[in-house]
């Protein structure tokens, strides 16, 4: 079971989930956030000492208005790793977290030697636009995010009482906090110049992609592979963008290769 802890950084106290033992691994969540009961984290914790920080604004984390752009958020992530006392952890990120992880690895190539990117964003191909999550309505999400939309919808609404009159306001506040922060690096196009910095990445890199990812189409996997020297791609059939929920074991097995 992951435990919720707090670590102080220059800007705000950062909440993180910690669990397992073994080599240190830092996991950066996607724009949708992360829960204590995340099965993928539990699976990683079977092999690694997992630290999964919440980006400010996510979970119960305080917002950090001073983190405005990609560089701020990249340095903040390095600050968190430093504050956790970790040296050369395996750095893994999903979606937005993958973008941040890639930026960290490009900015600090001598500090990050193993990198796991699970369907990251950060690049933009004109012929293959990434879905605009900021204009997507909640009911449209499952079909975009999961291979199996019906099962995905059940996962997304689990534990939520949608008939509660306060649900909408709670949902709107959470959405504004989380995607408000995510927007600083993802809105309106999730490209903050990563392509021009990726040549700096020295880390041994595993890329993981669901074959039926409709949010960030698998053509991006090829683009990341092309731009990171020696990157290996693990493609997973019958999985969408939320591949960590749909094919938890297969993604964990791929990440285990970084051990």
Partner 1 sequence: MKFTWFNLMPWPDLPADFREKNRSVWVDIDQKLFDPERAHTVYNTYMDLLEYAGQVGFDGIGVNEHHQNGYGIMPSPNIIAAGLARRTKDTALVVLGNSIALYNPPVRVAEEFAMLDCISGGRLVAGFPVGTSMDTNFCYGQIPSLTREKYAEAHELIVRAWTSREPFAFNGRYNKLRYVNIWPRPIQQPHPPVHIPGGGSVETYDFCIDNTYSYSYLSFSGYLRAKVLMQGYWDRVAQRNAPDASPYRAGFAQTICVADTDEEAERLYWPHVNYFYNRCLHVYPGFADAPGYRTIKTIQTGALSQYAPPRGGYTQLTWKDLVEGGHVIAGSPETVRQRMEDLAKGLNVGNIFCLMHVGDMPAEKCMYSTKLFAEKVMPHLRNIFPDYADDDRFWCKPLKKLAKAGNLPSERDAAQAVAALV
Q: Give the binding site for partner 1 (CB under 8 A).
A: 65, 68, 134-137, 140, 169, 172-173, 175-181, 183-184, 187-189
In the complex with partner 1, the residue whose CB is nearer, 35 or 136, is: 136
The distance of closest approach from Cβ of residue 142 to partner 1 in the complex, given in angstroms and rounded to an integer, is 15
The distance of closest approach from Cβ of residue 113 to partner 1 in the complex, given in angstroms and rounded to an integer, is 33
In the complex with partner 1, the residue whose CB is nearer, 85 or 188, is: 188
The distance of closest approach from Cβ of residue 60 to partner 1 in the complex, given in angstroms and rounded to an integer, is 14
CA distances for 124 relative to 55, 76, 137, 242, angstroms? 23, 24, 22, 20
The distance of closest approach from Cβ of residue 55 to partner 1 in the complex, given in angstroms and rounded to an integer, is 13
In the complex with partner 1, the residue whose CB is nearer, 11 or 184, is: 184
Q: Give dist(CA 30, CA 215) in Å, integer.
A: 12
Which residues are CB-contacts of 213 (< 8 A; sequence separation ≥ 6)? Answer: 119, 239, 240, 241, 243
The distance of closest approach from Cβ of residue 181 to partner 1 in the complex, given in angstroms and rounded to an integer, is 7
In the complex with partner 1, the residue whose CB is nearer, 37 or 193, is: 193
The distance of closest approach from Cβ of residue 69 to partner 1 in the complex, given in angstroms and rounded to an integer, is 9
In the complex with partner 1, the residue whose CB is nearer, 173 or 219, is: 173
Quick count: other Cβ atoms within 10 Å of Cβ 223? 16
In the complex with partner 1, the residue whose CB is nearer, 63 or 253, is: 63
- Opening angle at CA 28, ends 213 and 26, nearest 5: 130
- Positive or negative, the CA dihedral 7, 9, 12, 15 is negative
């Amino acid at each position: 079971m992951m435990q919720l802890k707090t670590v102080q950084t220059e800007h705000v106290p950062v909440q993180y989930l910690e669990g397992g033992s073994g080599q240190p691994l830092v996991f950066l969540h996607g724009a949708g956030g992360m829960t204590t009961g995340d099965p993928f984290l539990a699976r990683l914790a079977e092999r690694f000492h997992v630290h999964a920080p919440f980006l400010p604004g996510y979970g119960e984390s305080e917002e950090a208005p001073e983190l405005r752009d990609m560089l701020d958020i990249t340095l903040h992530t390095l600050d968190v790793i430093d504050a956790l006392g970790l040296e050369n952890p395996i750095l893994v990120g999903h979606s937005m977290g993958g973008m941040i992880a890639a930026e960290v690895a490009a900015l600090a190539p001598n500090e990050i030697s193993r990198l796991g990117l699970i369907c990251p964003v950060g690049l933009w191909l004109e012929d293959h636009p990434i879905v605009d999550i900021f204009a997507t309505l909640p009911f449209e999400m499952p079909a975009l995010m999961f291979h199996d939309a019906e099962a995905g919808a059940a996962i997304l609404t689990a534990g939520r009482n949608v008939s509660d009159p306060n649900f909408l306001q709670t949902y709107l506040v959470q959405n504004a906090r989380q995607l408000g922060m995510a927007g600083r690096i993802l809105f309106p196009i999730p490209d903050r110049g990563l392509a021009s910095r990726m040549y700096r990445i020295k880390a041994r890199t595993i890329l993981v992609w669901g074959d039926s990812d409709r949010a960030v189409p698998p053509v991006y996997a090829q683009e990341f592979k092309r731009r990171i020297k020696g990157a290996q791609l693990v493609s997973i059939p019958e999985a969408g963008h939320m591949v960590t929920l749909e094919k938890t074991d297969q993604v964990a097995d791929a990440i285990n290769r970084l051990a």
